[in-house]
Amino acid sequence: MAGLRAGLIGLGMMGRHHARVLGSLEGVDLVAVADPGGDVHGVAGGRPVLATIEELVGKGLDYCVVAVPTALHEPIGLALAEAGVPALIEKPLAQDGPASQRLVAAFEAAGLVGAVGHIERYNPALQQARARIAAGDLGRVYQVATRRQGPFPARIADVGVVKDLATHDIDLTAWVTQQPFRRVSANTALKSGRRHEDLVAATGLLADGTVTNHLVNWLSPLKERVTTITGEKGAFVADTLTADLTFFANGSVPVTRDELAQFRGVTEGDVVRYAIAKPEPLRVEHEQFRDAVLGRQADIVTMREGHNTVLVAEAMITSAETGNVVDLTGLVGG
């Protein structure tokens, strides 16, 4: 039986990884790729290298992956929607809220599967954390804190660190807690001489009262990708660089020394690093989108969720510019 006919537009730093996975994905045939700059990384594997989305659609696609610069997500996504082609669009969904809303509307009106490439959701550590939170292992969640920092990625030119990196943290926080953001406050800095921010410190409040904070930059020689989720039974620490999830349980041993027992709060308990399978997140993302296109049960980041993430990111930027807390009530859905 022939596989789904897939196309890929955008052969840059992220596009080359999509090409690798699509070229070996079970049940999928990567029939052609497109990039006006050509195949600079040599990933086409003998497949036709086209210049435009129109040429790519002309190959008769069952779906398409979009890995072009953020400013091009909207026009290429709308062209795919008009052609009736489901699409997986790299994050962020679009350059701003109105553009992302137009993409949501176009794909929903056409009845097409549309998804956003928020790859951190598929990291094994966060997948495990989400499953264990759903099972009640952490009890009520109190706080989600993320740290995402490292050197400047030369691949990024058209957005700042909020829309490029912090969107990972916005999406994973809302997903792992199953709660939308209700308000955010942020401060940013521009230190590298570019016109976009390269550092952000943001706090947020989710609909159920969970407090969040996010430290994100691309100014550090230290690469760090850590999410700490604190709840009534302890804390999960997910390191998405190593895909490790560690549980720090609240203490259950009574404190008998008076000088240590004056503060009767949480104490240290057992520490467990879970042994978990660690499949490649990008491959899992592609498998889930393939299944969604086939009409199977699948876990994808919908375009509406991607739109919500863009709105929260823009609220962080607005907060930094105005010095005000931004209320998202009624703007960001659950």
CA distance 62 to 138: 41
pLDDT at 108: 98
pLDDT at 215: 98
Q: At what angle do helices 281-293 and 15-22 cross, to 10 degrees?
A: 60
- Which position has the token pair 């199953």? 178
**270 vs 114, more confident:** 114
Confidence of residue 264 (pLDDT cuts 50, 70, 90): low
Torsion, CA 216, CA 221, CA 225, CA 229, rounded to 10: -70
**174 vs 254, more confident:** 174
Omega within 30 of 0 (cis) for the link into 92:
yes
pLDDT at 260: 53
The single-letter DSSP state of residue 251 is P
pLDDT at 208: 97
Q: Are residues 219 and 193 in contact, defined by beta-carbon separation less than 8 angstroms?
A: no
Q: Are residues 260 and 244 in contact, defined by beta-carbon separation less than 8 angstroms?
A: no
CA distance 148 to 182: 22
Confidence of residue 306 (pLDDT cuts 50, 70, 90): very high
Closest CA to 92 of 129, 111, 112, 66: 66
Question: Do the domains at 4-119+283-301 and 121-278+310-327 have one common CATH topology?
Answer: no
Closest CA to 163 of 95, 245, 250: 95
Q: CB count, 10 Å around CB of 72?
A: 16
Q: Are residues 196 and 209 in contact, defined by beta-carbon separation less than 8 angstroms?
A: no
Which tokens sit at 1? 């039986």
Q: CB count, 10 Å around CB of 154?
A: 7
**Mean pLDDT, rounded, for 52-67:** 98
**Residue 167 phi, psi dihedral angles, 5° rounding:** -65, -30
**DSSP track, 62-111:** SEEEE-S-GGGHHHHHHHHHHHT--EEEESSSSSSHHHHHHHHHHHHHHT
pLDDT surpasses 80 at 297: yes
**Mean pLDDT, rounded, for 215-233:** 96
**Mean pLDDT, rounded, for 317-327:** 97
pLDDT surpasses 60 at 17: yes
CA distance 168 to 121: 8
pLDDT in tens, 114-143: 999 999 999 999 999 999 999 999 999 999
Domain ranges of the chain: 4-119+283-301, 121-278+310-327
CA distance 117 to 96: 16
Question: For residues 268-295, b (16+ Cβ closer than 10 Å) or e, as one string?
Answer: eeeeeeeeeeeebbbbbbbbbbbbbbee
**Mean pLDDT, rounded, for 222-227:** 96
pLDDT at 298: 97
Strand-pair category, 244-250 with 211-217: unpaired
Q: At what angle do helices 303-322 and 167-177 cross, to 10 degrees?
A: 120
Torsion, CA 321, CA 324, CA 328, CA 331, rounded to 10: -50
pLDDT surpasses 60 at 157: yes
Half-sphere exposure of 111 (CA within 13 A, CB side): 1
Q: Are residues 293 and 90 in contact, defined by beta-carbon separation less than 8 angstroms?
A: no
pLDDT at 1: 45
pLDDT surpasses 90 at 155: no
CA distance 306 to 204: 18
pLDDT at 195: 84
pLDDT averaged over the chain? 94
Fold of the domain built from segment(s) 121-278+310-327: Dihydrodipicolinate Reductase; domain 2 (3.30.360)
CA distance 318 to 60: 42
3-state secondary structure of 89: strand
For the domain 4-119+283-301, what is the CATH superfamily, name and number?
NAD(P)-binding Rossmann-like Domain (3.40.50.720)
Q: Whole-prediction pTM value? A: 0.93
**Residue 148 phi, psi dihedral angles, 5° rounding:** -140, 105
pLDDT in tens, 158-186: 789 999 999 999 999 999 999 999 999 99
